[in-house]
Chain A
Amino acid sequence: MRIDADRLSYAYVRGRDVLRKVSFSVGAGQVAFLLGANGCGKTTLVECLAGIRTPRSGKVLLDGRSLEQYALRERARRIGLVPQIHEPVYAYTVFDIVLMGRSPHLGLFARPGRRDRMEVRRALEAVGLWMLRHRPYTQTSGGERQLALIARGLAQGATCLLMDEPAAHLDPRHQHDVFRVVTQLASDGFTVLVTSHHPNNALLYGDSAILMIDGAVVAQGSPESVLTAEHLEATYGMPFELIHGPNGSKAVLPKAPR
């Protein structure tokens, strides 16, 4: 599945666009990282792509077809939103949380059946959480929650995942656990868009990177070509340097004055 943003603009308040003619595309099998400073419009963009917000102008294309041409439930069977880690009010089990992902396959009056439970099992096994299925979601770690939310997207049947800051609140090990699952899914043909505040994660796990400043895309392409010292300085308003490791690995470091 291929997802394109075609000159998307969005405004919460008339006359003040938070997205300005954003265009990019992510193809099947790709993990794209969306980077930008706090408040630059990343979450708004993700919500436009998921069909939660309707852009003021421009459109979202799913396999070349405008998102508006898909019914709400059809969209939900193609695009899975993986929100930032949250604390639900009620202590649903991991299984129940993932089972909710079957909603777009069930009518208003229907309850999930055997087939839905099988899909949930497959999704939980794909992210490695089947053993934790009975655990209350509220008592799982941040990494496990992120994986459960990915599994929920899989249970929806989505082949395009939009992830809003999956690395937030996670230590490097748990970030790695999440991105290992994400890159595995991409190699199985999934389309993944990840918003992030960690340029190094884009270098480590990304196939492409998209850089946004004030609601507009300023650079896109391979992570190495996008995450240059100049681009990062323009994005975050502070100097950066690129570090080359011995095995060809790369990392960016802020040049902080001591």
Chain B
Amino acid sequence: MTGRRESSAWILVALAPVVFLAALLVGRFGIRFTDTFRALLGLGGVEDVFRALVLQVRLPRVLAAACIGANLAASGAAFQGLFRNPLVDSRILGVSSGAAFGAAVALLASAGWLGVQVSAFAFALVAVGIVCTIGSRLGSSPLVLVIGGVLVSALFNALLGLTKYVADPLSTLPAITYWLLGGLSTARWASIIPLLAVTVLGVTFLVAVRWRLNVLTLSDAEATAMGVRVRGFRWAVILVGTVLVAASVAVGGMIGWIGLVVPHLARAWVGPDHGRMIPVSIAVGAIILMVLDSVARSAMASEIPLGILTGLIGVPAFFLLFVRFLSQRESTR
């Protein structure tokens, strides 16, 4: 059983690079298979337009999709363990609400993509900072943090509403609305470099500590008795998870459900041990978002917002999950 789980974990992880290459072949412009690879490998004989399209448009975009999917899934998986609650996702501490408000304010001030990205990232950290400050005053138990996250999310949603209310309904309001729907059409090398850097560092950290995350799912008393410094470790994971999500949301807008659903899929596949579950979550998150983004940019003449696609697929998946959860509960009684 352990052997089967181990091998299926590696198969899923190995599938991610394959999907990555496949996603590069997909797009509104038909570029020949061989031309795509010649462009990637820096070989000659490819028209400059196609080379630019592959290297300057598709490559950064697919990379961004992979990073965002991996980040949302990894932080969602870590948070579900940390908060001992399978219904938690990467947005639980108010990251997304803070980022949405930050982006909306920047758009209101007619800032460029850089301003929007920086503002979204900064306000995401502000929102989580408020939650953690409140939480640490009240004993930093998972319950306090979750309630704090819900409250701060509500606060930033109200502020977002206010921003929309005062926005010019002909130009700024649509821009805010489109940003909130999520999407990667603006992803270029310049705009995704910070995301790439954060992803490499953060995901490496979560992968490195993944086995230790198991102990956090037990009570604080038990984990302490097993020699784990619960508080410090929990804060470190919260910090890393938050930065991963903040950087992702700053580039891709509101992309929901990945952080909730993917860890459940991973757990169903390889069991709850974070040693296997974290790498599989990362791989599946990256795969799903690369596939969905390929659909978003090539299925119709105009782009389908990514947030809508993840919702259309995420909600039914969540429903199935919930039904399964209930039937499992019944069968163990």
Residues of A within 8 A of B (CB): 47, 50-52, 72-73, 75-77, 79-81, 83, 86, 88-93, 95-96, 100-101, 103-104, 106, 108-112, 134, 138-139, 156
* B-chain residues with CB within 8 Å of residue A75 when the two chains form the complex: 227
Would A88 and B215 be within 8 Å (CB), given that A72-B224, A76-B226 are in contact? no
CB distance from B308 to the nearest CB of A (A): 31
Query: Which single member of B209, B214, B221, B229 contacts A96 (CB below 8 Å)?
Result: B214
- What would be 14 A-B contacts, judged by CB atoms less than 8 Å apart? A50-B225, A72-B227, A80-B225, A81-B222, A83-B219, A83-B221, A88-B218, A90-B81, A92-B271, A92-B273, A93-B271, A106-B212, A109-B208, A134-B1
Query: Which single member of A47, A90, A101, A103 contacts B221 (CB below 8 Å)?
Result: A47
CB distance from B273 to the nearest CB of A (A): 5
Query: Which single member of B209, B210, B272 contacts A92 (CB below 8 Å)?
Result: B272
The distance in angstroms between the C-alpha atoms of A83 and B208, with both chains bound, is 28
Whether the Cβ atoms of B267 and A103 lie closer than 8 Å is no
Would A77 and B227 be within 8 Å (CB), given that A92-B214, A103-B215, A139-B332 are in contact? yes
CB distance from B322 to the nearest CB of A (A): 16
Whether the Cβ atoms of A86 and B209 lie closer than 8 Å is no
Is B86 among interface residues, defined by CB-CB distance under 8 A?
Answer: yes
Given contacts A51-B225, A103-B212, 20 further A-B contacts (CB under 8 A): A50-B224, A52-B225, A72-B227, A72-B228, A73-B227, A83-B219, A83-B222, A89-B84, A89-B85, A90-B267, A92-B271, A95-B2, A100-B226, A103-B227, A104-B227, A106-B211, A109-B208, A110-B211, A156-B226, A156-B227
The distance in angstroms between the C-alpha atoms of A100 and B222, with both chains bound, is 10
Whether the Cβ atoms of B225 and A96 lie closer than 8 Å is no
Is B314 among interface residues, defined by CB-CB distance under 8 A?
Answer: no
Residues of B within 8 A of A (CB): 1-2, 81, 84-86, 208-212, 214-215, 217-219, 221-222, 224-229, 233, 267, 271-273, 275, 332
The distance in angstroms between the C-alpha atoms of A77 and B228, with both chains bound, is 12
Whether the Cβ atoms of B229 and A72 lie closer than 8 Å is yes
CB-nearest residue of chain B to A79: B225
Counting from the closest, the 8 A-B pairs by CB-CB distance are A76-B227, A104-B227, A90-B272, A81-B225, A73-B227, A109-B208, A103-B226, A111-B211
Query: Which single member of A51, A83, A100, A109 contacts B214 (CB below 8 Å)?
Result: A100
* A-chain residues with CB within 8 Å of residue B224 when the two chains form the complex: 50-52, 72
Q: How many A-B residue pairs have CB under 8 A?
A: 83
* B-chain residues with CB within 8 Å of residue A88 when the two chains form the complex: 217-218
CB-nearest residue of chain A to B83: A89
Query: Which single member of B86, B209, B219, B226 contacts A90 (CB below 8 Å)?
Result: B86
The distance in angstroms between the C-alpha atoms of A95 and B275, with both chains bound, is 13
Whether the Cβ atoms of B275 and A111 lie closer than 8 Å is yes
Whether the Cβ atoms of B209 and A108 lie closer than 8 Å is yes
The distance in angstroms between the C-alpha atoms of A76 and B225, with both chains bound, is 6
CB-nearest residue of chain B to A83: B222
* B-chain residues with CB within 8 Å of residue A86 when the two chains form the complex: 219
CB distance from A172 to the nearest CB of B (A): 24
CB-nearest residue of chain A to B225: A81
* B-chain residues with CB within 8 Å of residue A50 when the two chains form the complex: 221, 224-225
* B-chain residues with CB within 8 Å of residue A109 when the two chains form the complex: 208-209
CB-nearest residue of chain B to A71: B227
CB distance from B333 to the nearest CB of A (A): 11
CB-nearest residue of chain A to B273: A96
The distance in angstroms between the C-alpha atoms of A251 and B290, with both chains bound, is 69
Whether the Cβ atoms of A104 and B226 lie closer than 8 Å is yes
CB-nearest residue of chain B to A95: B2
* A-chain residues with CB within 8 Å of residue B81 when the two chains form the complex: 90
CB-nearest residue of chain A to B275: A111
* B-chain residues with CB within 8 Å of residue A76 when the two chains form the complex: 225-227
* A-chain residues with CB within 8 Å of residue B212 when the two chains form the complex: 103, 106, 108
* A-chain residues with CB within 8 Å of residue B218 when the two chains form the complex: 88, 100
The distance in angstroms between the C-alpha atoms of A89 and B263, with both chains bound, is 14
CB-nearest residue of chain B to A104: B227
Whether the Cβ atoms of B217 and A90 lie closer than 8 Å is yes
CB distance from B205 to the nearest CB of A (A): 9
* A-chain residues with CB within 8 Å of residue B227 when the two chains form the complex: 72-73, 75-77, 103-104, 156
The distance in angstroms between the C-alpha atoms of A106 and B219, with both chains bound, is 19
CB distance from A117 to the nearest CB of B (A): 10
CB distance from B141 to the nearest CB of A (A): 14
Whether the Cβ atoms of B272 and A52 lie closer than 8 Å is no
